[in-house]
């Protein structure tokens, strides 16, 4: 679903603990995601799966896995022993054998209990990367946890989305908001409009420079859209994408050396 990830530094109660907004939001987010017309279901997860490729026999680490349903599905479809990590600790009941769901912080995956020294064929940051305390450090750690020939699948909301919203709210221009470096408050009325996330804005160049600084190169980038059929069935979702563009997906591989 398009709105997404980004830095959380406070919640509606004014606390500075990054985990607390998601304690409140997690179940609302999953409820919204499971709707028949959610963009995650219609656009994002199919595109993420396509970029992951065939996971049969491969180990997967899902960083910021939500309730763990995505990594559980991959294991059901043949992935080897796989792990989901999420700060909320609000996980599906009875994931399939071979799926481990751990409450932990994606900012330092190697420090999550049970993950030290482990390697994975695929590491996913799906609409979760913005929560890393230090994005470059988080990606460097993930890079070190990749098995030979492994890669990272990372998605983020098109940064222009937030610039459009803020320009409308503030009566400013797209460029002013896109290049603004001020944190901003964000409430998602499709999830729970009582919870405020504080986000740091980013531009495309910010994002690309993080990948370079972490020693990764982009093998593929995707901007997924609705299928023709879904467009006809869910015109209100096409209207969202027409306005906000959607998400960006990246397939990232370690630079040699
Ligand atoms: C927008 S949801 C995306 C969930 C899932 N990856 C998906 O694609 O549906 C963001 C997730 O990141 C999790 N999260 C936020 N901060 C985190 C952190 N510091 N460490 C681990 N997970 C975090 C939230 O609890 C939430 O489940």
State whether the beta carbon of 86 lies less than 6 angstroms from ligand 1: yes
Per-residue pLDDT tens over the stretch 52-104: 999 999 999 999 999 999 999 999 999 999 999 999 999 999 999 999 999 99
Is 71 a domain residue? Answer: yes
**Domain assignment of residue 165, yes or no:** no
64 within ligand 1 shell (Cβ under 6 A): yes
Range(s) of the domain holding residue 127: 20-158+203-254
Determine contact, residues 21/185, Cβ cutoff 8 Å.
no
Q: How far is the CA of 66 from the centre of ligand 1 (A)?
A: 5
Residue 184 lies in a domain: no
**DSSP strand E in the chain: where?**
60-63, 82-86, 99-103, 120-126, 146-157, 184-186, 197-199, 216-222, 247-254
**5 in a domain, yes or no?**
no
Task: Find the CATH number of the domain harbouring 56.
Answer: 3.40.50.150
CA–CA separation, 79 vs 96, rounded Å? 11
What's the gap in Å between 5 CA and the centre of ligand 1?
A: 7
Residue 107: closest CA among 77, 142, 81: 142
Residue 180 placed within a domain = no
Number of domains in the chain: 1
Strand order of the sheet with strand 216-222? 99-103, 82-86, 60-63, 120-126, 146-157, 247-254, 216-222
CA torsion, ordered 2, 30, 194, 170, to nearest 10 deg: 0
Residues 152-162: pLDDT tens digits?
999 999 999 99
| Residue 191 near residue 21 (C-beta atoms within 8 A) | no
State the greatest distance between any 2 C-alpha atoms of the chain, in Å, as a whole number: 52
Does residue 181 belong to any structural domain of this protein? no
83 found inside a domain: yes
pTM: predicted TM-score of the whole model, two decimal places? 0.92
Q: Is 176 a member of any domain? A: no
What does the pLDDT read at residue 160?
95
**In angstroms, what is the span from residue 213 Cα to ligand 1's centroid?**
23
14-49 pLDDT per residue, tens: 333 444 777 778 778 888 888 999 999 999 999 999
pLDDT of 106 > 50? The answer is yes
- On whether the CB atoms of residues 24 and 11 are closer than 8 A, the answer is yes
Separation of alpha carbons 187 and 165, rounded Å:
11
127 lines ligand 1 (CB under 6 A): yes
């Amino acid at each position: 679903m398009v709105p997404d990830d980004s830095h959380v530094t406070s919640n509606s109660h004014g606390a500075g603990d990054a985990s607390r907004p998601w304690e409140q939001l997690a179940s609302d987010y999953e409820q919204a995601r499971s709707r028949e017309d959610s963009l995650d279901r219609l656009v994002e997860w199919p595109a993420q799966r396509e970029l992951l490729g065939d996971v049969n026999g491969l180990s997967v680490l899902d960083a910021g896995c939500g309730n763990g349903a995505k990594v559980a599905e991959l294991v059901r479809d043949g992935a080897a022993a796989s792990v989901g990590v999420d700060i909320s600790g609000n996980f599906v009941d009875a994931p399939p054998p071979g799926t481990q769901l751990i409450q932990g912080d994606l900012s330092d995956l190697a420090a999550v209990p049970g993950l030290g020294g482990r390697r994975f064929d695929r590491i996913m940051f799906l609409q979760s990367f913005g929560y890393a305390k230090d994005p470059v450090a988080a990606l460097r750690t993930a890079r070190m946890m990749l098995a030979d020939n492994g890669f990272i699948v990372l998605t983020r909301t098109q940064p222009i989305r937030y610039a459009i919203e803020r320009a409308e709210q503030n009566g400013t221009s797209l460029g002013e908001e896109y290049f603004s470096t001020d944190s901003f408050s964000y409430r998602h009325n499709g999830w729970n409009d009582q919870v405020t996330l504080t986000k740091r804005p980013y531009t495309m160049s910010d994002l690309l420079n993080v990948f370079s600084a972490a020693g990764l190169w982009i093998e593929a980038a995707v901007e997924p859209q609705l299928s023709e059929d879904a467009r006809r069935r869910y015109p209100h979702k096409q209207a969202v994408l027409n306005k906000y563009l959607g998400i960006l997906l990246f397939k990232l591989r370690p630079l040699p050396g």
